[in-house]
Structure 1
Amino acid sequence: MKKQSGFTLIELMIVVAIVAILAAVALPAYQNYTKKAKMTELVAATGAVKLAVELCAQTKATPTTYGDECIKSTNGIPANVTSGAIEITTAKVDESNVSVTAKVGASGAAPLSAGDSYVLTGTVDGNSKVTWKATCVNGSKTLDYCP
């Protein structure tokens, strides 16, 4: 009798099952990774506005006028962009807080969903230093792929 070499069908099925399990685990992790990478575009989009708000806080505003002064284009703050793939807006939260929001527009920025937002909230202290806190949201839902 001649000895057979090679793989049996059951061995091949086991290998295919193992590869399928690994792919099932890796795919959601990869999708989250790609969303986090795309969200960095929103972070980068807020950079110019963030810098302008910090300069305004140090040169044009006091801690009590920061919320009003550091959202005006006359004080060097870029105008709101409300169309396109990424929309950027600044808004007064209160006297000592300003928010800078970069949001995925209606035209989208796949793999992100329309409405996914990167929100920076800047709080000024008595020395005109701005401290930033970042959150990633879509409506009232906090996103888990915030960079």
Structure 2
Amino acid sequence: MSFNQKTFIGMVRDQWGLTLIEMMMIFAIIGILVTIAIPPAYQLYEDSQAREQVTEAVNLLDSVKAPIAGFYSDKGRWPTKTEFDSFVTTQTGKYVASLTPRILPDGGFQVTAAFRSNGVSPELLNEGTGRTLVLATKNGVEWVCNDNTDPVSGVPGLVAGSVLPQHRPQSCK
């Protein structure tokens, strides 16, 4: 038996797998990649969840447009809280705690949807309380969403909602 042929027992071995060091390096690389990728993915998930929950508020607010416009058209004034409560039957939802009407000082009207303080996406909380989404009108025909106080295209005097722009639907941005 010759040493040049490397046939000495233990000198020649075919490598069939990865060594422990190589496996540890692979797991370390995977761990680093996961650490970098998970936070943005989680944020996208939370934003998506918040947008979905805001949709419920938008639907509730859309359902009050016709009754309020009809009341304004018939009576020539905005409804009081009691009158609002009598003709708007659905004022809460799974994520929305309440709908609150408000007659604005400049002659407009707004309805505020307040989110619950628990059971909602963390993105819909502001210092432990639910954020708000606003729907307002000057005349019962044209409605604006959330924070448009421009005298020409918005409703002056409205109290803006606190839902973040990235969670609002396109009609409220």
SS state of the match for residue 30, structure 1?
A: helix
- Tell me the residue number matched to 1:56: 71
Cross-structure match for 1:78:
88
* Unpaired runs of at least 5, structure 1: 62-68
Partner of 2:150: none
Unaligned segments of structure 2, at least 5 residues: 1-12, 148-159
What is the correspondence of 1:1-147 to structure 2 with a 5 Å cutoff? 1-6=13-18, 8-61=23-76, 69-72=77-80, 73=83, 77-78=87-88, 86-94=97-105, 96-105=107-116, 108-111=118-121, 112-113=124-125, 114-124=129-139, 130-135=141-146, 141=162, 143-144=164-165, 145-147=167-169
Point out 4+ residue stretches in structure 1 off by more than 6 angstroms: none
* Offset at residue 31 of structure 1 (A): 1.0
TM-score by structure 2 length?
A: 0.61
Structure 1 length-normalised TM: 0.70
- 2:88 alignment partner AA: P
Equivalent position amino acid for 1:88 in 2 = L
Distance 2:161 2:75 in 1: 33
Partner secondary structure for residue 99 of structure 1: strand
- Where 1:70 maps in the other structure, the secondary structure is coil
Residues 74-115 of structure 1: CA distance to partner in whole angstroms, max 9, x if unpaired? 8x7437959x95111111113541101111245x34223223
- 3-state SS of paired residue (1:15): helix
Contact 2:112–2:161 (CA under 8 A) maintained in structure 1:
no
Residues of 2 paired with 1:57 and 1:16: CA distance? 61
Deviation at 1:28, TM superposition (A): 1.3
Report % sequence identity: 18
CA RMSD between the two structures: 3.1
The structure, 1 or 2, with the larger RCO (C-alpha pairs under 8 Å, 6+ apart) is 1
Q: How many residue pairs get matched?
A: 131
Larger gyration radius, structure 1 or structure 2: 2
